[in-house]
Amino acid sequence: MSDLSQALSLALELVVTLDPQMLGIVRLSVLVSGSAVLLAALIGLPLGAVLALSAFPGRGALVVMLNAFMGLPPVVVGLGVYLLLSRAGPLGEAGLLFTPAAMVVAQTLLVLPIVAALSRQVVADLWEEYGEQLRSLGVSGLGRMATLLWDGRFSLLTAVLAGFGRAAAEVGAVMIVGGNIKGVTRTMTTTIALETSKGDLALALGLGLILIALVTGVNAAVFLVGQWARRRMG
């Protein structure tokens, strides 16, 4: 148990003293996972709505694929993105390997299936309720998507949060495409992996606690906002 209490006090110390190196790592983690989730939402929300509302050949296969890809191993995504962005790969000339941008690409791919699959579910459920009314009003396809996405905003926020949780917690993809370069691509999870491999379990666990606190904080904030808004909007 001494490891655990040591970890707790280390985590506290890092937070209280606002250790600049730790702040940089936390900032990068939030920036990378946040951008990835933002981009995944920009693509995934409309994609989910399209899948929920329109029929086209191959739609069923796409839905099954999205659902399956929710559990995609981060390492596999990382490896795929690495091969794409490697200087010997097809997109090597962009020069993004071992940069935060590469990590954003990988995490976006990781989060996209979650956001798209969950928002498809949310929109499909809403359509059950709204379908007749919207058809009665003569709302067009695009208008239906926009209306349902907006009216499902509180549930969709949960989908986006699930994506953020996955992005912030994964280590496999960012390790491969970011390279865990100190001060450049070192995130909370790769630092934890590194400190663990150095046998500094207390520091690793301390950082883990900070990560958990961060993700919990974001979730709590969104939960409270959602509660308040739900009560207000019915």
Partner 1 sequence: MKRLLLAVLAVFSLAAAPAGAEDRFITLASTTSTEQSGLFGHLLPLFKAETGIEVRVVAVGTGQALKLGERGDADALLVHDRAGEDKFVAEGFGLDRRDVMYNDFVVVGPSADPAGVKGGKDAAEAFKKIAAAKAPFASRGDDSGTHRSELRLWKKAGVDVKAGGEWYRELGSGMGPTLNTAAGMNAYALADRGTWASFKNRQSLAIVVEGDRALFNPYGSILVNPEKHKAVKAADSKAWHLWLSGPKGQAAIAAFKIGGEQLFFGDAR
Partner 2 sequence: MRAPDTILPLELERVGFAVGGRPLLDDITLRLEAGVRTIILGPNGAGKSLLLRLCHGLLAPSDGSVRWHGAMAGEPVRRRQAMVFQRPVLLRRSAVANVRYVLALGGVPWRRRGALAMEALERFGLAALAQRPARVLSGGEQQRLALARAWAAGPDVLFLDEPTSALDPAAALSVEMAVQEFHASGTKIVMTTHDLGQARRLADEVVFLSRGRLVELAPAVEFFKGPASPQARAFLAGELVC
List C-alpha distances in Å: 16 to 23, 47, 178.
Answer: 11, 43, 28
Residues in the chain: 234
We find the least distance from the C-beta atom of residue 80 to partner 1, in angstroms, to be 13
Question: Do 81 and 173 touch, CB atoms closer than 8 A?
Answer: yes
CB hemisphere CA count around 74 (13 angstroms): 22
Binding mask 125-144 for partner 2 (x = CB under 8 A): ----xx-xx-xxxxx---x-
Question: Of partner 2, partner 1, none, which one does residue 98 interact with (CB within 5 to 8 Å by kind)?
Answer: partner 1
Alpha-carbon distance of 138 to 193, in angstroms, equals 55
Write down the least CB distance from residue 232 to partner 2, Å. Answer: 6
Under the binding rule (CB under 8 A), the answer on residue 103 touching partner 1 is yes
157: nearest Cα among 229, 73, 62: 229
Contact characters 71-110, partner 2, x per CB under 8 A:
----------------------------------------
Q: What is the CB-side half-sphere exposure of residue 178 using CA atoms within 13 A? A: 31
For partner 1, what does the binding mask look like between residues 10 and 49, x meaning CB under 8 A?
Answer: ------------------x--xx--x--xx----------
How distant, in Å, are the alpha carbons of 47, 61, 115 from that of 36? 16, 25, 11
Q: According to the binding rule CB under 8 A, does residue 61 interact with partner 1?
A: no
Select the binding partner of residue 137 from partner 1, partner 2, none (C-beta < 5 to 8 A, by kind). partner 2
Give residues in contact with partner 2 (CB under 8 A). 129-130, 132-133, 135-139, 143, 147, 150-151, 153, 232-234
